[in-house]
A = this chain, B = another copy of it.
Amino acid sequence: MAKVLTSKEENYAQWYNDLVLKSGLAENSAVRGCMVIKPYGYAIWEKMKEELDRRFKETGHENAYFPLFIPKSFFSREANHVEGFAKECAVVTHYRLKTDKETGEIIVDPEAKLEEELIVRPTSETIIWNTYKNWIQSYRDLPLLINQWANVVRWEMRTRLFLRTTEFLWQEGHTAHATRKEAEDETMQMVGVYAEFAEKFLGIPVLVGYKTESEKFAGAVETMTLEALMQDGKALQAGTSHFLGQNFAKAFDVQFTNKDGKLDYVWATSWGMTTRMIGALIMAHSDNNGLILPPRVAPIQVVIVPIYKGSEKSPPIAEAALKIKAQLTALGISVKFDDRDTHKPGWKFAEYELKGVPLRIAIGPRDIEKGTIELARRDTLEKTILPQEGIATHIAALLDEIQETIYQKALDFRSKNTHRVENWEELVDVLENKGGFALAHWDGTKESEDRIKETKATIRCLPLDGEKELGKCVVSGKPSSQRIVIAKAY
């Protein structure tokens, strides 16, 4: 098989880009920084969406849709928010084009200038809280548990497919509550939903924790984050859940009458996960042959490739294939029977390896004689000859096993690449030579955090389940009661 990807060892960034392009997930578009998500990439996003949406609805949330555009003045209402979001964004200034009479060219009609510029949403807190103002009068209207599936735009200068693009797809939850505790519980619940989704569905182990003041969401009181470790030893923020306090309620004057008949400001959360997770999925599991997809998120879970002798199709092979396909489909497994005669079996093998299909079945003339098939696992590349009889139940169990194996492998990788560091030299050694997560003591000051940032790494989170342990800050030597996680990150 010809090598189609740059190897990870040679150039990790190039390997990633090759893989996204060659496996047909996405490509750059004619519009700077915006990607085209191709059908195979979009099919993965659909699986993610469906699973997340199910989990959101199970926890009582409903979907709604708010405008793409946000009046410029809305951003100024929440002081921190405007600093974080109103800067690098797409600004709509006009609403009409016209044909220039002299040149015949299409130009922006200067007479169609908007009174107030509109911003293409980078996130929707402002427009949503402006709307909630009319929806919430009393505690009876609370909680309001709403999610939106949408596209958002943040003008990025340096973009990478899925990881950082000017336009991306995401969901954003925006909830309103009568009490601080309810909103804090919601923040925690949703980071939990994300963590379970990442681990059980995508096979990506995540650390859950709090962001530092300097790293939290612009406008939040507290930001919770999921941090995943990629195969090159860099961290990736996989989702965030924000406790917004009463900041947006105050900015948009959203008050309600509580059970005691008194007016109070509403408590808020917001939480989001994006198409960036496709990038995380790729970088957490894949190898130099292509994608490795955990079965639960794989658009095609099993592919059947017939091995015909010469160019003639063989009816017994096709029959056996279709019979197995029907058995697998009945078990809820998604199967593709690739019966095309335009491509040879070897080409197909490489193609489905590249696309990360978890299991491949090959059936040739000798299999028909013997009642067997050849089964190949994408994750381990193991091949086995097995009887056709009972193959569907075997495969159903094997898919679960593969899901677990992929997760365990990523978990082992993370364990091996998580280093306890006791002083500055050890921290720098991890960041510069070893990669991975450094667990270090920190004194909680901005000064020490800034010093850490000079290494180009950041504090990823203060782990939620980190054990209390007395120690000394790796920067200042001052006392600290808990280790934090430091890493270079995407």
Contacts and interface: CB of A to CB of B under 8 A. Distances in A.
Given A87-B97, A91-B108, A39 B66 contact: no
A63 B169 CA distance: 14
A96 B85 CA distance: 10
B96 A146 contact: no
A483 to B, nearest CB: 38
Contacts of A86: 97, 106
Given A39-B62, A64-B37, A89 B93 contact: no
Given A35-B67, A94-B91, A131-B29, A62 B76 contact: no
B98 A87 contact: yes
B96 A118 contact: no
B66 A130 contact: no
Copies of this protein, total: 2
Contacts of A450: none
B155 A71 contact: no
B71 A42 contact: no
B36 A131 contact: yes
Contacts of A108: 91, 93, 117
Interface in A211-265: none
Contact of A34 (B27, B29, B67, B146): B67
Contacts of A411: none
A114 to B, nearest CB: 9
A78 to B, nearest CB: 12
A153 interface: yes
A312 to B, nearest CB: 20
Contacts of A27: 134
Interface string A65-103: 111111111111000001000111111111111100000
A38 interface: yes
B155 A95 contact: yes
A41 to B, nearest CB: 8
A151 interface: yes
A65 B91 contact: no
A30 interface: yes
Given A35-B67, A65-B42, A120-B120, A127 B30 contact: yes
A39 B94 CA distance: 31
A88 to B, nearest CB: 6
Interface size class of A (residues with CB under 8 A): 35 or more
A72 B97 contact: yes
A69 B90 contact: yes
Contacts of A119: 97
A261 to B, nearest CB: 16
A392 interface: no
A342 interface: yes
Interface string A111-153: 0000001111000000100110010000010000010001101
Interface string A164-200: 0001010000000000000000000000000000000
A46 interface: yes
B140 A342 contact: yes
A43 interface: yes
A45 B31 CA distance: 30
A65 B93 contact: no
Given A29-B67, A88-B95, A90-B118, A72 B106 contact: yes
Nearest to A61: B39
Nearest to A91: B94
A118 B31 contact: yes
Contacts of A342: 140
B82 A91 contact: no
B106 A82 contact: yes
Contacts of A71: 30-31
Given A34-B69, A91-B93, 9 more contacts: A31-B69, A31-B71, A36-B131, A37-B64, A39-B64, A69-B167, A90-B92, A91-B94, A91-B97
19 contacts: A27-B134, A29-B67, A34-B68, A36-B131, A38-B64, A42-B64, A46-B63, A86-B97, A87-B98, A89-B96, A90-B92, A90-B94, A90-B95, A92-B93, A95-B155, A96-B155, A97-B119, A150-B151, A151-B151
Interface of A: 27, 29-31, 34-39, 41-43, 45-46, 62-76, 82, 86-98, 105-106, 108, 117-120, 127, 130-131, 134, 140, 146, 150-151, 153, 155, 167, 169, 342
What are the nearest 8 A-B pairs in CB distance?
A: A34-B67, A39-B62, A37-B65, A91-B94, A95-B155, A93-B93, A31-B67, A90-B92
